[in-house]
């Protein structure tokens, strides 16, 4: 199976670059499944129903989110009726929506997506490790599902790496999101799980993690708190990870970073390499 996982979409710049490149990547890489993190897609803060429709039209099969999932007021009602939009798994019981699901890939195989959120320097949520363990209780890689992808939305690299170690050999891929900076550690772990500490973002990299540089910088230089951060709206770049899995086991056999657009060293996987 061929899977593309994209980092946090930030504002209109991020949405445009996804719409521009994902349809072509689906064709050229013969992708079976695409996951997009959309938590900053609505002007940098959260996501809306129409934006979900826009990302689905571009080729996303599932949209993950993160700590900004509830920033747009209408999303709490919308998410109850959109099984392909995931909020963090380890919110307390009773939160709207769901944090994991099983979805049909283009080739008909079943793909499980699990979306925990880290706790270190983040919100005081339930334990993401035990939440993932519970989500996996009724599914086994290579048996009930052909692939399992975990998007851990977390600040600390150590927490993301620990999740990779915790799940190595039991899921197809563990990828980190949230920091908006693509890391250089894409690899297959010893047990066969693809891993990347952070996917990066889809957005304008001539920015401070996707936001206009002026106020974002002033907050650090002068401790200016007033004003609302605005997403940078220059030409966007797309960042994420390409994973190929073994059809028999569901484990990763190939993993490559994806980086397309200004501000990043380009990395475009070749089909059938």
Residues identified as active-site: 68
Residue 169 tokens read as 């050999």
CB within 8 Å of 73: residues ≥ 6 apart: none
Using DSSP bridges, classify how beta strands 187-188 and 194-196 pair: parallel, antiparallel or unpaired.
antiparallel
Q: How far apart are CA 173 and CA 149, in angstroms?
A: 5
Encode burial over 195-226: b for 16+ CB neighbours within 10 A, e otherwise: bbbbbbbbbbbebbbbbbeebbeebeeeeeee
239 bridge partner residues: 259
Coil, strand or helix at 75:
helix
């Amino acid at each position: 199976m061929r899977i593309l996982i994209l980092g946090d979409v930030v504002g209109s710049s991020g949405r445009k670059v996804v719409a521009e490149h994902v349809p072509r990547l689906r064709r050229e890489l013969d992708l079976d499944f695409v996951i997009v993190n959309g938590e900053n897609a609505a002007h940098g803060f959260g996501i809306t129903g129409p934006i979900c429709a826009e990302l689905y039209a571009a080729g996303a099969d599932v949209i993950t989110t993160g700590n900004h999932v509830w920033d747009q007021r209408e999303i709490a009602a919308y998410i109850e009726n959109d099984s392909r939009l995931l909020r963090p798994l380890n919110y307390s019981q009773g939160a709207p929506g769901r944090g994991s699901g099983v979805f049909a890939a283009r080739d008909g195989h079943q793909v499980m997506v699990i979306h925990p959120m880290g706790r270190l320097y983040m919100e005081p949520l339930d334990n993401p490790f035990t939440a993932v363990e519970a989500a996996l209780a009724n599914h086994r890689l290579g048996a009930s599902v052909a692939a399992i992808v975990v998007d851990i939305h977390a600040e600390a690299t150590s927490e993301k790496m620990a999740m990779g170690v915790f799940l190595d050999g039991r899921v197809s891929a563990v990828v980190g999101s949230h920091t908006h900076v693509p890391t250089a550690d894409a690899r297959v772990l010893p047990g066969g799980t693809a891993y990347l500490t952070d996917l990066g973002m889809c957005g304008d990299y001539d920015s401070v993690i996707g936001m206009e540089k002026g106020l974002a910088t002033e907050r650090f230089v002068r401790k200016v708190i007033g004003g609302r951060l605005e997403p940078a709206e220059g030409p966007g770049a797309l960042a994420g990870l390409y994973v190929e899995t073994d059809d028999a086991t569901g484990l990763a056999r190939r993993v490559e970073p994806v980086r397309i657009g200004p501000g990043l060293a380009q990395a475009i996987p070749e089909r059938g390499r």
